[in-house]
Amino acid sequence: MKVLLLDLDSTNPAHLGCYGYHRHTSPNIDKIAAEGVRFTNYYTSDAPCFPSRTALMTGRFGIHNGVVNHGGAAADVRHDGEERGFRDKLSFENFPNVFRRKGMKTSLISPFAERHSSYTFYAGFNEMYNTGKGGMESAEEVTPVVLDWLERNGENEDWFLYVNYWDPHTPYRAPESFGNPFKDEPLPTWITDEVLEKQKEKIGPHSVHEINMFNNTTDPEYPRYPGEIKNMDDMRKMIDGYDCGVKYLDDHIGMIFEQLEKQGVMEEVIIIITADHGENMGELGIYGEHGTADQGTCHIPMIIRWPGLKSGHVDNDFHYHLDLPPTIAELIDVEPAERWDGQSYAAALKKGESTGRDYLVVSQCAHVCQRSVRFGDWLYIRSYHDGYHLFPKEMLYNLKEDPFEQHDIASENPDLCREAVYYLNEWHDDMMSTMDHDVDPLWTVMKEGGPLHAKGNLKHYVKRLEATGRGHAIPELKKRHPREFE
């Protein structure tokens, strides 16, 4: 058995052709989608990068494994404590160990562990290749490592190769020589002058005024990445920059597929294409960031081409990314780990059966502190720390009618909000009753003063608001975050 997993950092499925995007960004990914199963309601349980990959590799929600932030006490995997044996439980419960238990070689090509000091990410791999730039790699630096590995191992039996690409992650880094294949193509139809003018009323990191988180500075090394979106020309630069990252990445995926074809093994390789999280490209008025518990950040692609199983199938059920380990375990006849939180959807891949969940709860505690409930056509967002966006405590979006989250309808739908809070409480009760700690790490983050990417930035951000004529927001920021002004 040969398995290739492509982890495409910051890839928003709404910008892939196979998910309905009008631009030709992903022909190689689209081909695999047509040959396998494409999941339309697939979400990371915990965003962004470090919490998401930790949840996937441990098979456990962040509330259970302890990682929900990018710094502080909630940025380390919880220890087994006094019950730890010669090896900890993670050494047996990690996702790659599913393949190890079938006698397969497991290999990782990624700089991620070093990027976040997340060395538990290595658990279960026989060999690891750190591409060495901490997530600032461009595809032309990753692909040669992949091709070399395939040259040496591709024709062997029984391997699992996990490959991490970064090109859709900010700052957009497709080389100048790549050009802009989208320069004459229209922007997404929902992004209009009217929408942009409305978004200019918003404050907060990665709003149209501060693409570079808390300011509008740019770096000449990354000319595709604007500092501010003042007009539709700037908007085009933003969207084109992201789409070029996706297309450049897809071209390199094509090179991998060519190598597999050359070796005569392409038709037998199981291919999994997914991401750690999406990327807000206008959702909630935010651009170029994955800093909320919303559709833009937490909705991710999942495409699985498994020769001999369903082909050309679309699954619309609700699934978490941490449902992948138990799914693989069932498909290759390995016992799932006792502490995994995932739920297998193997029957969806085998027979196209419905195997989804009634609702999902997704979390974000690195830029904001939010938990959100995805149910029916709805996304309910509950904010505990607004990350200086001045989000209301409750937001509600009808994703069928408003997939890009431009119209908060919470005040008009109190019954739906109460239903969502019921689901959130049910989930939280279940999580707290099935863990060996009594501390919810979201509240650890709150007690530490807030998420890493917000904490300590408000004083200088207030000066920018004053300088750019948006001082009207400062009293409310001071009211919500008095500790930042002590």
Least confident span in 14-23, 237-246, 337-346, 435-444? 435-444
Quick one: the chain helix, strand, coil %, rounded to 5?
40, 15, 45
For 2-357, CATH gives 3.40.720.10
Q: Which helix (H) or strand (E) covers residue 423, if one does?
A: helix 414-433
pLDDT, tens digit, 9 for 90 and up, residues 71-85: 999 999 999 999 999
Give me the long-range contacts of 88-92 (CB less than 8 A, separation at least 24): 89/339, 90/58, 90/120, 90/123, 91/123, 91/124, 92/337
Q: Is the pLDDT of residue 436 over 90?
A: no
pLDDT, tens digit, 9 for 90 and up, residues 103-162: 999 999 999 999 999 999 999 999 999 999 999 999 999 999 999 999 999 999 999 999
Q: Is the pLDDT of residue 60 over 90?
A: yes
Tell me the domain boundaries of the chain.
Answer: 2-357
- Determine contact, residues 62/68, Cβ cutoff 8 Å: yes
pLDDT, tens digit, 9 for 90 and up, residues 168-177: 999 999 999 9
The C-alpha atoms of residue 255 and residue 297 are separated, in whole angstroms, by: 28
Between the two ends of the chain, the Cα-to-Cα distance in Å is 59
Express as a percent the part of the chain with pLDDT over 90.
Answer: 98
